[in-house]
Amino acid sequence: MKFALFLLTSLTLVGNAQIELKWEYRPVPETFLGPNPQPGGDPLTSGSEIHISRHLTSPSGYTLLSVEGRWKSVMEETKKLILLNPQGNEVWMSADLGTMFAGSFGTSVRLVHVGPDAAVASVSESSEFGSGNLVIYNKHANPQMNVLLLSGESFAKASTTMNDDPSRAFQTAGFNGTTVYSLVKDPDSGPIGGDFIALKKYALTVSGQPEIVIPNESGVEDRNLVLRWQSAAGVRYQVQETTNLSIWTDVGQPIDGNGANLSWSQTVSVPAKFFRIVQR
């Protein structure tokens, strides 16, 4: 008895490929920094400087940002974490990390985990010494933000997540091959270096190639093939099957996403079949 689960791991762009801007996010100065201490002044001296230093995306489309900025009339810099939903809207913003974890070497932020219900970042002094702090956002907790202090442990270089690297201005999310995130460089910066002031999410569409959803868990339970995946609210999913990896047929009715984990199961049978989940 054989069965198989087909996962699309790469996308080949052809002449009829299209790219669609899904959303663009730019931090709002008054929301991120608070009231302007010099409202109505010269923008060169009273405006704001805000840039995105890191971003991390999840299979469900949630994005965690590490953002830094200041009013030009103020010397102190503000550092915060911002969580975006799959539509690019803010759902949570942390307190100022620079104030919470001020040290003689400043603070270093690394993004560890992001999802619809939780986000984790490590914050430590900008040196290889000192204490490490895990900032944990839990949607269902009260308060939603908590800090785990681990004395003598540094997390400044602990993260190995692929998107936790600001040096790559254009990079894919790496989950289904059809979602691309682009950091927008400050046009006022020079040709070398410079800060990123916005994040854009694009969807790549290739004729005849649906967007494949990769399950976060799959296997056989009691002679049933079970697929589980993280859904996004407002997105419709369809399970499909094939015996030749060429012609795909819908299995059952579409399943509406609600932001939670969804599952689908079917009795394992002969002949062998391949299954996949696509977005509609």
Q: Tell me the per-residue pLDDT of 135-178, one tens digit each, with 9 for 90 and over.
A: 899 988 888 998 887 655 544 433 333 333 333 333 333 334 46
CA-based nearest residue to 117, from 95, 88, 91: 91
pLDDT digits (tens, 9 = 90+) for 114-128: 888 889 888 876 554
Whether omega before 210 lies within 30 degrees of 0, making that bond cis, reads: no
Beta carbons within 10 angstroms of residue 216's beta carbon = 14
Tally the residues of the chain. 280
- The CA-based angle 30-35-37, given to 5 degrees, is 130
* Assigned CATH for 210-279: 2.60.40
Burial of 20 (0-12, 13-18, 19+ CB in 10 A): exposed
User: In this predicted structure, what is the pLDDT of residue 92?
Assistant: 95
* Start-to-end C-alpha separation, the chain: 31
pTM: 0.63
- Map tokens 């949570």 to a residue: 92
pLDDT, one tens digit for every residue, the chain (280 residues): 333 333 332 223 334 456 788 899 999 999 999 999 888 777 778 889 999 988 888 877 889 999 999 999 888 899 999 999 989 999 999 999 888 876 656 778 888 888 888 898 888 765 544 456 788 999 888 889 988 876 555 444 333 333 333 333 333 333 344 677 788 888 776 665 568 888 888 876 655 556 667 777 777 777 788 888 888 887 888 898 888 777 888 988 999 888 888 888 888 775 677 888 888 7
**Where exactly does CATH 2.60.40 map onto the chain?**
210-279
